[in-house]
Chains A and B, each alone.
Chain A
Amino acid sequence: MNQVSPASQAAVSFASAFAGFSRDRAGDAAWLREHRELAFADFVQIGLPTRKHEDWRYTSLRSLTEGAFSLAPQDVVSAEVLAPHVQAGDITLVLVNGRLVTPLEQLGDLPTGLLIAPLADALSVNVPAALRLLKRYATAQQPFSQLNEAFLGSGLFIEWGPRVTCERRIHIIHIGSGKDRLVTLPRHMLVLGSEAKGEVVETFVSSDEGTTSFTNTVTDIELAAGAQLDHQRCQLEAPQALHIGRVRAELAAAAKLTSLSLSAGAKLARIDIDIGLAGQGSEVILNGLYLTREGQHVDHHTVVDHQVPNAKSRQLYKGILDGVSRAVFNGVVRVRRDAQLTQAYQMNRNLLLSSDAEIDTKPELQIDADDVKCSHGASVGQLNDDHLFYLTSRGLPPTEARRMLVQAFADDVMLHAPRLHATLRPLTMGYFL
């Protein structure tokens, strides 16, 4: 093997896509073009992480270095691809290869004070919240957020004004299409004013089973005082797809975020969830469920930063692993010195259905305050033989009994998202055996 530095690998894989993108966007505002250039330079300088990076110890990115990516082109998909995910009553927004294909004027009546716009438009008219979020994360040293930043312009900007409640679920459906080494880099911003309330689901699917695309997505969330958001992310991409996603949120006083990360698709999925509890009395609930089968690898990294006193965090991540597959869970809970009376709970449970599956689970509690309630735990186990016997001894064939127990393990998490659960149950039910 000849030694190629991570930095030059990064350049090789994405430089021509970036050059093409820059040419296409030559008409954008100068500050935005410069912002992208800086981000790309940062990305190249940081380089693609290798397993020597603590954060990537268990996850190899080799498949990203196997050739250059081009930016996924505009495309259309058939109604059948969409149908299983579209639910009546939702505000549905469809992105194909990162480009919004739903005409916004067709969304019908939206609550007053709810703004849904392409992020590019929000940036071109300098919407303050959009600029604020850009600034907040500009110095992030994560290569994939910088890569996403370099291609800033696709994705949505959604803002709920103060006290605006949207009862309808907003469903963003990402569809990756095409068989080549295509990359899609959407960025969404979800901004909730004080006391506002909303629900957003992001679903990631592929147009067909052969899709090999690379999705690198970032969703930025800002909750003002007392705002509440239920955010669910559902990664169901094709078995050869690559998926790297990040959710970043900052919560002001008494704000509440409920987050679900479901990951069942892709050959390699890495999901980072960074939560800043910046206001007293804020609360975050992070739920996750990952399912892996033959050849899949999924890695969740969460960081919950208790910056102020009196905030709560609660994490439950569960994994079901089958075949030769691997999952990683790394959960950092940081409690700053001033963050007295913090309550932080973290649990990671794993069900191994095959002896060839492997899980690496690592809680990381960094606690600098003294009056706090923090606990964490992790477990790895197999299906319980006594449970299996009980179910089969009532007449259930072993495969059905196993499926019922696997489903029961998953339901624990999925019941936090009842509507998603209803649509996903047939998918997760059929996932094993």
Chain B
Amino acid sequence: MNDAFGRPQSVIVLGGSSDIARAVVRRLAGARCKTVVLAGRDPERLSSAAKEALDAGASLAPVVLFDAHDVAQADLTVSNCFAAAEGPVDLVIVAVGDLGSPDSDERDPTRTADLITVGFTWPASALTAIAATLREQGHGRIVVLSSVAGVRVRRSNFAYGSAKAGLDGFSIGLAESLRGSGVIVQVVRPGFVRTKMTEGLKPAPFSTGPEEVADAIIRGIETDAQVVWSPGLLRWIFMIMRNLPQSIWRKLPG
């Protein structure tokens, strides 16, 4: 159960080996979280993330494998995760996405479909299943990793960005639909994060690291904020960015 500060005792992470997810799990397991279900594609990385969770204080850290290209299985993956938790689940983190490599992918229709599937279609289907289970439970929190790339889509990663834009909008709508159900949905919009996913790319202004994003997420959980920006300043910057004429937006670095 969540306590008065929103600290969960059990968590499911979809995309459990991502750097941000691991940093969040370390913090949660150091507080109240005893059960950590880690779901993802790479068994090796997942088991090292599970070990890390156990070291940080969790006492149960099962691993569930899935492939986010397989939309038809999203529902089943979610129910496997809930079963692995062996009890009520207080928090579900959705950290699934594929940045792709803009140069080679943007002219490839199949890769484009993949990026949208992994970044939007699969997560949206999974979120629908998660919401139904949490609704029955009468409580729970969903944290969805979105990105500023989806707040205003830009040239450099428009497939990824538009998938995030879709997921972000979907999540906010889902949050509304769950009002009064005891289930909260929060959207996290980090700026450019220096992680394994962005290795080799030139950091955009206001870049941040997984540890900073994890801190922002933990604070967001405490405050129930609907949208969590990281760094926080981006919230104000994007108020302006969103409305810049395309001709200026195009010229901004990043």
Report whether chain A binds chain B.
Answer: no
Interface residues of B (CB under 8 A from A): none
